[in-house]
Structure 1
């Protein structure tokens, strides 16, 4: 059979068919991530003001907070690399949906702070100081060394040794404000398993520990166990969504374009006999590599593939997409817009970009990572302090890693009722733009490449957060509370990754036996307490 001609009427009929036949014709397609065919809706503020087009130079700025952005010479290596990559984006951080694009938070926030109305060029008036250092692009261009770059070393010397000499020498700017208020500086951690140092194979909390220093760290990830271990320190830092670059995600015509592309791909797969019936909607969509929690990922694939009504697509789908001559959106992202559920296991760390991709594509994320948090969820204590936090279960399905390993995933998804599905989609649409860096509009070229002003919900909520810190921190400084937490409370450490249910009774027996034999430190008592309180989402050993 052939598809009807592509038209707006046909697209709407296609979307309607997917919705009405969702429970009558269930089909699961194995491929990375999933999403429904819901259109991208205009931003719902959810009690948070929107920045939209309010940028630097506007006569009215709705915020009192002011941020000074350090100005570094363009000849510095990380600036030269950025300029070069923007001119020739292919294969770089600026290449739309390239793998490296998810690590562009430093660039997105630099574009935001330099163009926002909250920027001040008078450092004496500033409440915060933003450091536009592009660590990730420099790290990868240098061959991914373990040691920090020259400029990374200068920053580490400040926050670890209170030594600003290299900052002045290498960045060529004053150290006056570092000396005066290191806790009011903003640094960005662009990737979850690297920082200013890049030791290979280190997991657990290793890459988070730099956040126990004075500056405010904006990062893509921390975990539930980390927040429970250092709640006061976690509250001084900010977790933001993974950037989702690429023109198609932001252009106002994207919803129709996605559906056209999806129909092309589905027809190709049907003709190649990779799927049996392109008219049936995709019930779920998943494909993942063998990394991170391999046992969990294998269990997801096995659970979905075991059903006789499920089509398993592996690399065949990539070849089919390539044969159509498409560049830009990947086949995975296109098919997100034709599915209902998106299984999202952890990657090299507990969170993953796909948990945000899914929401923007209209899919229902299925979070299969016990230690993962969303930005702005109820574990994000800065937002909780202001009476604002997202309830992840409103827009995502949470499946424990142990349930996935035991093969329960498919039965859980099939057990979602039509009313539950409608509620999940409603809340997903309501919050999705809080995870956008660019408000839907007209984007002939990727907005990150053109340094367009990031006016989406994510930077709006960031500004809202910084603005409210002014009032809270005047009477209750977060950095002082963090210092007290570090020095006056015992802490356990997480140095390994464990996938599945933590061995609670086994570890408690071992730790209690150790306590009886040799007595125990405060740290050992804290570790036992963490296990007893259910604060362990990963295998934990004392450092």
Structure 2
């Protein structure tokens, strides 16, 4: 009797185990053949919740804040959270290329509240995920001569030469070939003399208009927004936002541009004579920036044609003014586009569509009011992602950019590992 019961029990157990194996809930290999198991999946940095650990090189002041105040360029004291000079309030249009300053400032900030911070500074390079090079290459271009015949241009070139020599002597730069190094170059002419020698690094750019794909691409580089020049619209709460903005389409800026920017002159002719369109040639002065602020805040749509490159500061001025951007470009790259869908709060026209008389304006005149209001509400919500400020705040532009850097690192690690396997080890050379 007991023998029959044992046989039945054994049969039941075998039946249950067989069913479990069939549906995949039990893997006998893990018990009897542990070496046959699949290797554990390595968790990449992006899969972790911790902030990016960034080592910032300690460069002399002449490479960064010394350009804000030349009298302090040779000071020996390192830059800290306490002595960081503020970005000049009278910098005008230079502010649009100040991304490098805000990235450096975010690493200097040592506030106790780290909630929402995407990157923190580490003083031990061995613990770093990435390396930040605090060279204000855009400010150097704006400060040290704008053309190649200007004698001060030599200062910009010497800084680039000296920086490159410094990096090439760094064992951490040598270790990765510079691939895990973050270098801001937001001005189209930033690092104009030796830029090609730093192309392996993660470059912070505003678009790829001046660079071939062999030099810059989304596969390794980060697209940053320009720092907006107009003041942010913080009290935009009318009862009827659509009717309160009396201008249909607004543009104010330089109409003489290069490359795709030549479309601005053509648009001026096409849009002339429309009572509900404000299209004005202007240069960036404090008075004109103030007038642009008022114009964007009183307009439903803000026109964004290409400048010398596909992007320009005007797009981000429109976003913080909650003026629905009208983007005219065939090849613009936009910041954070893997996280943000610009079609939800912007309208896009190809160059061909924009140059067809009446097409653009008629489309905007027929645009549904309720859809515009949805876009306006979304602009109010997402504009915080385009704010550069100190101290940094959760989900602001600086933190968004560090998160973008974090997204690039798995590809960087892959490139480093693949390059190492092609190198012949020293012990193999000695053996031969």
Q: TM-score, normalised by structure 2?
A: 0.67
1:463 match:
402
- Offset, 1:467: 4.2
Aligned residue number for residue 342 of structure 2:
392
- Name 2:313's counterpart in structure 1: 353
Q: How far does the alpha carbon of each residue in 1:316-372 deviate from its partner, in whole angstroms, 9 at most, with x for none?
A: x99xxx9xxx86952112221111000101111111111111111100000012111
Between the aligned partners of 1:134 and 1:187, the Cα distance in structure 2 is 9
Q: How does 1:272-283 map to 2 (within 5 A)?
A: 281-283=246-248
Other-structure match for 1:296: 263
Q: Contact 1:63/1:467 (CA < 8 Å) preserved in 2? A: no
Contact 1:153 1:196 in 2 (8 A): no
Q: Against the structure 1 CA distance between its residues 479 and 436, is the aligned structure 2 distance closer, same or farther, given a 3 Å change threshold?
A: farther
Q: Does 1:340 align with 2:326?
A: no
Tell me if 1:80 matches 2:66: yes
Q: CA deviation at 1:72?
A: 2.1
Residue 105 of structure 1 corresponds to which residue in structure 2? 99
| Whole-angstrom distance in 1 between the partners of 2:291 and 2:95 | 17
Does the CA-based 8 Å contact 1:236-1:478 persist in structure 2?
A: no
Counterparts of residues 418-497 of structure 1 (less than 5 Å): 418-438=369-389, 452-453=391-392, 456-467=395-406, 472-473=410-411, 477-478=414-415
SS at match of 1:186: strand
User: Residue 406 in 1 paired to residue 390 in 2?
Assistant: no
Q: Distance in 1 between matches of 2:72 and 2:96?
A: 15
Post-superposition shift, 1:143? 1.7
- The 8 Å contact of residues 144 and 198 in structure 1, kept in 2 or not, is answered as no
Looking at structure 1, the residues matched to 171 and 193 of structure 2 have their Cα atoms a distance apart, in angstroms, of 29
Instruction: Show the counterpart of 2:202.
Output: 216
Distance 2:72 2:406 in 1: 31
Correspondence for 1:417: 368
Task: Give the Cα separation in 1 of the matches to 2:250 and 2:88.
Answer: 27
Distance in 2 of aligned mates of 1:124 and 1:312: 54
Q: Which structure 1 segments of 5+ residues have no match?
A: 1-60, 165-174, 200-206, 260-277, 378-382, 384-388, 439-446, 484-543
Unaligned runs of 5+ in 2: 1-47, 74-85, 115-119, 149-153, 421-432
Task: Say whether 1:255 aligns with 2:255.
Answer: no
Q: Does 1:137 align with 2:128?
A: no
CA–CA separation in structure 1 for the residues paired with 2:164 and 2:344: 40
Distance 2:189 2:210 in 1: 19
Aligned to 1:190: 186
1:200-239, aligned counterparts within 5 Å?
Answer: 213-222=199-208, 234-239=218-223
Give the Cα–Cα distance (whole angstroms) in 2 for the partners of residues 431 and 230 of structure 1.
33
The yes-or-no answer on 1:151 pairing with 2:159 is yes
Q: Which moved more, 1:126-135 or 1:455-464?
A: 455-464
Contact 1:233 1:479 in 2 (8 A): no
Change (3 A) 1:233 1:345: closer
Aligned length: 340
Q: Give, in angstroms, the shift of residue 108 of structure 1.
A: 1.2
1:72-121 deviation per Cα after TM superposition (whole angstroms, max 9, x unaligned): 233x364422234999xxxx973456111111111111101222651111
Report the counterpart of residue 121 of structure 1 in structure 2: 123
**Pairwise CA RMSD:** 4.0
- Distance between the aligned counterparts of 1:415 and 1:308, measured in 2? 16
Residue of structure 2 in register with 1:65 after alignment:
52
After TM superposition, the score normalised by the length of structure 1 is 0.54
Contact 2:229 2:289 (8 Å CA) reproduced: no
What is the rounded CA distance, in whole Å, between the counterparts of 1:222 and 1:335 in structure 2?
29
Which residue number corresponds to residue 367 of structure 1?
Answer: 327
Shift of 1:417: 1.5
